[in-house]
C-alpha cells in the first residue's frame, strides 16, 4: 500500500481522499528540514503547500518518493530540477485557487483605492476621521495587468465588470484571447505610462524577476497604485517604498514578499501600503479544491500511473492509464533490449527513433516514448525512469525522434525503436500479444517472435548447419537450461539471429565460449 506524508496544513478533504483510495497517510506539519529528512524515506508521496521546502538534500534521502503534490500553483518551494533528476514527479493544482486569488487581488485593489485598513483601524480606535480618508473610484480607471494567464484573466474579467479599462501585458496572450476577455493587448511600456493600477500575475522567473524595478517603477504614471498577489521578487520592494515616500506612487498592496515570512520591510511603516501574509489562496473553497485535487491526482498516480498536472512529465489520463500500461511495459522492454545491445558493443548512442504503427499510432505516445527512453538508457545511467529519461537523454546529446505511421501494418499494433550509434544502426520492434503481452517480432529487420523473459541470450550467427547443435551443447555443458528458443534469418545462408530465454543469467565466461563457436558473430546476455 503506498504511503503519503502531508507536511503542510491541508484541508482534511485530502486525508479522506487518500484513505478512501486505500493509501496510508500521515500528517506531520511544521517539521524542521532535519526532521523531515529523517522520515521522508518511508513515503511514496509528499503532499505540500508552500511551507515545506523540497530541496535537493531532502530528495537525496527520499529513497521511495515517487511524487510531490503541491496543493496550489507555484512550485518555487520545490527543486523541480533535482526532483526530475531523481525521477520524482512534481504535480500542482493549477486551477483550484485561481478564482480565490483573483478575488484577493481585486479586494486589495479596493482596499488600496479606499484605504480600508487604515480607515478601519482609525474608526475602531474611536477617531471617526471622515476627512482623512479620501479615496479614488475604480470606474473608468486603467488597470494594467502584467501576466494574463489563469489568474490574470479572471482579474481582467472582474475588472471589466467594474467598468475599468484593462491593458494586458503578456507575451503569450493572443489578440483573439484579448478580444474575448475585453482587454487591450499592450506592452510593458504602455502599462507603465498609462495604468492607474498595476497588478502582477506572472510566475517568478528569470524574465519576470524585478519586472517592476526601480527603473520601471520610476516610469509609471504618477499616482499609480501597485498590487502584487503573485510572487515576491517581481517588485523591487525598496524602490517601491522610496517611490511611495516621494509621492510618485500613491500606494501598494502586497500579498507576497521577496522573503517570506516577511517580518520586516521598509513598506510596513508606510500609510498607503496594504499587506497580507500570502493569503491569496486562503479561502475555504480554494483550500478544499486544491486539497481534493492534489489527493486525487497523487492517488491516481500512485495507484494507476495516471499523470495529471505534472510539471516534469507528460500527462497520462486516468482513462488512458490502463490502456497504456501494457504499451509502457512493451516500450520499456524494447528500450532495454536496444540499450543493452548498445551498451554491450555498439558504441556511443547518438540518435533514437521510435516508430508507432497500427493501434499504437493512435495512443498518447509521449509517455510511451519516455518509457522507451527509460529502458534504453537505464543500462548506461543510474536512477533513470520515465520522469527523467528525456532530460538525461538530452543531457547526453542523444537526439530523440518520434514517428507515427498511418499505414497498414502486418500487426494490429507495432512499436519499433531504432538506435544509431557512432558505429552502427540497430532496430528492434514489438507488438502486444492479445493486446496485453509484450512480444518481440523483429530484430534488425529480421522477423523473430519471442516473449520477453527475465534472462535472455541474443546471438547473431551465419545461417549454416551446425550452429544450433553446438550452441545447445555449450549451454548444457555449463548447466544452463533453455526455456524457449527462437530463430530468424534474413535469407537462406545469410545473417541469422537466435534469441533464447534461460532460467538464470548467462555468466560472462559462457558468453565468451559461445562467441568462440564456429558461425557465431556475437552473443549478448540480456536481463529484463
Ligand atoms: N498569492 C497567492 O496565494 C497565490 C499566488 N499565485 C501566483 O500567481 C501567479 C500567476 O498564477 P497563474 O495565473 O495561475 O499562472 P499562469 O501560468 O496561468 O499565468 C501566468 C502568466 O504569466 C505570463 N508571463 C510569463 N512571463 C511573463 C513575462 N515576462 N511578462 C508578462 N507575462 C508573463 C504567462 O504567459 C502566463 O500567461 C503565479 O506566480 C502563482 O504562483 C497563485 C495562487 C495563489
Ligand atoms: O498555499 C498557499 O497558501 C499559497 C498559494 C500559492 O501561492 C500558489 O498556489 O501558488
Q: Using CB atoms within 10 A of its CB, is residue 171 exposed (0-12), middle (13-18) or buried (19+)?
A: exposed
Strands (E), 57-208: 67-70, 89-91, 142-146, 165-169, 184-185, 197-200
Instruction: Indicate which atom in ligand 2 lies nearest the CA of residue 76.
Output: 10
Task: Give strand pairing partners of 405.
Answer: 357
Helix axes 150-161, 98-114, angle to 10 degrees: 50
Residue 452 neighbours by CB under 8 Å, 6+ apart: 333, 337, 438, 439, 440, 528
Instruction: Indicate which atom in ligand 1 lies nearest the CA of residue 72.
Output: 43
Residue nearest to atom 36 of ligand 1 (CA): 149
Q: What is the DSSP letter of 492?
A: T
- The pLDDT tens digits of the residues spanning 492-503 come to 988 899 999 999
Q: What is the pTM of this model?
A: 0.85
Q: Which residues line ligand 1 (CB under 6 A)?
A: 72-74, 94, 97-98, 101, 146-152, 169-172, 201-203, 207-208, 229-231, 255-256, 278, 280-281
Question: How many C-beta neighbours within 10 Å does residue 11 have?
Answer: 19
How far is it, in rounded angstroms, from Cα 494 to Cα 345?
A: 21
What 3-state DSSP class applies to 107? helix
* Whole-number percent of the chain with pLDDT over 70: 99
Which ligand number lies closest to the CA of residue 9? 2
Please report the pLDDT score of residue 344 as a whole number: 61
- The pLDDT tens digits of the residues spanning 335-364 come to 999 999 887 666 678 899 999 999 999 999
Cell, residue 449? 517472435
Please report the pLDDT score of residue 523 as a whole number: 94
Distance from residue 424's CA to the centre of ligand 2 (Å): 51
- DSSP code per residue over 369-391: HHHHHHHHHTTTSTT--TTTHHH
Phi, psi of 354 (to 5 degrees): -115, 125
* Domains of the chain with bracketed CATH: 3-95+285-304 (3.40.50.720), 98-275 (3.40.50.720), 315-452 (3.30.1330.90), 454-528 (3.30.70.260)
- Tell me which residue of 272, 270, 290 sits closest to 281, measured CA to CA: 290
Pocket test for ligand 1, best of 9, 72, 74, 147 (most atoms within 8 A of CB): 147
- Tell me which residue of 452, 415, 417, 455 sits closest to 437, measured CA to CA: 452
Q: What is the DSSP letter of 316?
A: B
- The pLDDT tens digits of the residues spanning 223-233 come to 999 999 999 99
- Which whole number is the average pLDDT over 368-382? 89
Phi, psi of 157 (to 5 degrees): -60, -45
What 3-state DSSP class applies to 312? coil
Residue nearest to atom 31 of ligand 1 (CA): 170
Please report the pLDDT score of residue 442 as a whole number: 96
Question: How many C-beta neighbours within 10 Å does residue 126 have?
Answer: 6
Cell, residue 151? 489568474
Please report the pLDDT score of residue 383 as a whole number: 82
Q: Are 286 and 100 in contact (CB under 8 A)?
A: yes
Cell, residue 201? 500575475
Q: Are 430 and 334 in contact (CB under 8 A)?
A: yes
**Helix (H) or strand (E) segment spanning residue 292:** helix 284-304
- Which whole number is the average pLDDT over 261-276? 96
Distance from residue 202's CA to the centre of ligand 1 (Å): 3
Instruction: Indicate which atom in ligand 2 lies nearest the CA of residue 8.
Output: 1
Pocket test for ligand 1, best of 78, 151, 158, 207 (most atoms within 8 A of CB): 151
Distance from residue 92's CA to the centre of ligand 2 (Å): 10
Asked whether residue 381 carries a pLDDT value surpassing 90, the answer given is: no
Cell, residue 52? 515545506
Kindly provide the ipTM of the predicted complex, given to two decimals.
0.99
- The pLDDT tens digits of the residues spanning 71-114 come to 999 999 999 999 999 999 999 999 999 999 999 999 999 999 99
- If phi > 0 it is left, if psi is from -120 to 50 it is alpha, else beta; for residue 476 that is alpha
Place of cell 503573485: 230
Instruction: Indicate which atom in ligand 2 lies nearest the CA of residue 75.
Output: 10
Residue nearest to atom 30 of ligand 1 (CA): 170
Q: Kindly tell me the sign of the dihedral angle through the C-alpha atoms of 220, 224, 228, 233.
A: positive
Distance from residue 263's CA to the centre of ligand 2 (Å): 19
- The pLDDT tens digits of the residues spanning 118-138 come to 999 999 999 999 999 999 999
Place of cell 497588478: 199
Cell, residue 138? 475604480
Phi, psi of 121 (to 5 degrees): -60, -40
- The pLDDT tens digits of the residues spanning 186-202 come to 999 999 999 999 999 99
Please report the pLDDT score of residue 348 as a whole number: 79
Please report the pLDDT score of residue 347 as a whole number: 67
- The pLDDT tens digits of the residues spanning 293-306 come to 999 999 999 999 99
**Helix (H) or strand (E) segment spanning residue 108:** helix 98-114
Distance from residue 414's CA to the centre of ligand 1 (Å): 41
CA distances from 220 to 178, 193, 240, 249, 325 (A): 23, 5, 11, 8, 55
- Give the mean pLDDT of the chain: 95
Please report the pLDDT score of residue 346 as a whole number: 61
Please report the pLDDT score of residue 318 as a whole number: 87
Q: What is the 3-state composition of the chain as percent helix, strand, coil, each rounded to the nearest 5?
A: 35, 25, 40
Asked whether residue 406 carries a pLDDT value surpassing 90, the answer given is: no
Please report the pLDDT score of residue 345 as a whole number: 63
- DSSP code per residue over 214-270: HHHHHTSPTTEEEEE-S-TTSB-HHHHHHHHHTTSEEEEEES--SSSS----TTTT-
Distance from residue 229's CA to the centre of ligand 2 (Å): 10
What 3-state DSSP class applies to 322? helix
- Which whole number is the average pLDDT over 410-423? 92
Which ligand number lies closest to the CA of residue 70? 2
Give the active site residues: 231, 260, 278
Strands (E), 255-391: 273-275, 349-358
How far is it, in rounded angstroms, from Cα 411 to Cα 91?
A: 36
Amino acid at each position: 500500500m503506498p504511503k503519503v506524508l502531508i507536511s503542510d496544513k491541508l484541508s482534511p478533504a485530502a486525508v479522506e481522499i487518500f484513505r478512501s483510495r486505500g493509501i496510508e497517510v500521515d500528517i506531520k506539519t511544521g517539521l524542521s528540514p532535519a526532521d523531515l529528512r529523517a522520515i521522508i524515506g518511508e513515503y511514496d508521496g509528499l503532499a505540500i503547500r508552500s511551507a515545506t521546502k523540497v530541496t535537493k538534500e531532502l530528495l537525496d534521502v527520499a529513497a521511495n518518493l515517487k511524487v510531490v503534490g503541491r496543493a496550489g500553483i507555484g512550485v518555487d518551494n520545490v527543486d523541480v530540477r533535482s526532483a526530475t533528476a531523481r525521477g520524482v514527479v512534481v504535480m500542482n493544482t493549477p486551477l483550484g485557487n485561481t478564482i480565490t486569488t483573483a478575488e484577493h487581488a481585486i479586494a486589495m485593489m479596493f482596499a488600496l483605492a479606499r484605504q480600508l485598513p487604515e480607515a478601519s483601524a482609525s474608526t475602531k480606535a474611536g477617531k471617526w476621521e471622515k476627512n482623512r480618508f479620501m479615496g479614488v473610484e475604480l470606474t473608468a480607471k486603467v488597470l494594467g495587468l502584467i501576466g494574463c494567464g489563469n489568474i490574470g484573466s479572471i482579474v481582467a474579467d472582474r475588472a471589466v465588470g467594474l467598468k475599468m479599462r484593462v491593458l494586458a501585458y503578456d507575451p503569450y496572450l493572443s489578440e483573439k484571447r484579448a478580444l474575448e476577455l475585453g482587454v487591450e493587448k499592450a506592452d510593458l511600456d504602455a502599462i507603465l505610462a498609462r495604468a492607474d493600477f498595476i497588478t502582477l500575475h506572472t510566475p517568478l522567473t528569470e524574465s519576470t524577476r524585478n519586472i517592476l524595478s526601480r527603473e520601471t517603477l520610476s516610469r509609471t504614471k504618477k499616482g499609480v497604485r501597485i498590487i502584487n498577489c503573485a510572487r515576491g521578487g517581481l517588485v523591487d520592494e525598496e524602490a517601491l517604498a522610496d517611490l511611495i515616500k516621494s509621492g510618485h506612487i500613491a500606494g501598494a498592496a502586497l500579498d507576497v514578499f521577496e522573503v517570506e515570512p516577511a517580518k520586516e520591510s521598509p513598506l510596513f511603516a508606510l500609510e498607503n501600503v496594504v499587506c497580507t501574509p500570502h493569503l491569496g489562496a486562503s479561502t475555504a473553497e480554494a483550500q478544499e479544491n486544491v486539497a481534493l485535487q492534489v489527493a486525487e491526482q497523487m492517488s491516481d498516480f500512485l495507484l494507476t500511473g495516471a499523470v495529471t498536472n505534472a510539471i516534469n512529465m507528460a500527462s497520462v489520463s486516468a482513462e488512458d492509464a490502463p490502456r497504456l500500461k501494457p504499451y509502457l511495459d512493451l516500450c520499456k522492454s524494447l528500450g532495454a533490449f536496444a540499450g543493452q545491445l548498445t551498451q554491450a558493443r555498439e558504441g556511443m548512442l547518438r540518435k533514437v527513433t521510435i516508430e508507432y504503427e497500427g493501434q499504437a499510432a493512435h495512443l498518447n505516445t509521449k509517455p510511451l516514448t519516455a518509457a522507451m527512453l527509460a529502458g534504453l538508457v537505464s543500462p548506461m545511467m543510474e536512477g533513470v525512469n520515465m520522469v527523467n529519461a528525456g532530460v538525461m537523454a538530452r543531457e547526453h546529446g542523444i537526439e530523440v525522434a518520434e514517428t507515427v505511421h498511418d499505414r497498414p501494418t502486418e500487426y494490429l499494433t507495432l512499436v519499433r525503436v531504432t538506435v544509431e550509434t557512432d558505429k552502427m544502426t540497430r532496430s528492434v520492434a514489438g507488438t502486444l500479444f492479445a493486446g496485453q503481452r509484450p512480444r518481440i517480432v523483429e530484430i534488425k529487420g529480421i522477423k523473430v517472435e519471442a516473449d520477453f523473459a527475465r534472462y535472455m541470450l541474443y546471438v547473431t550467427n551465419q545461417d549454416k548447419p551446425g550452429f544450433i547443435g553446438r550452441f545447445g551443447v555449450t549451454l548444457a555443458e555449463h548447466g544452463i537450461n533453455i526455456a524457449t528458443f527462437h530463430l530468424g534469418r534474413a535469407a537462406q545462408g545469410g545473417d541469422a539471429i537466435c534469441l533464447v530465454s534461460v532460467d538464470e543469467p548467462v555468466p560472462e565466461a559462457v558468453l565468451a565460449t559461445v562467441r568462440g563457436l564456429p558461425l557465431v558473430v556475437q552473443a549478448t546476455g540480456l536481463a529484463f
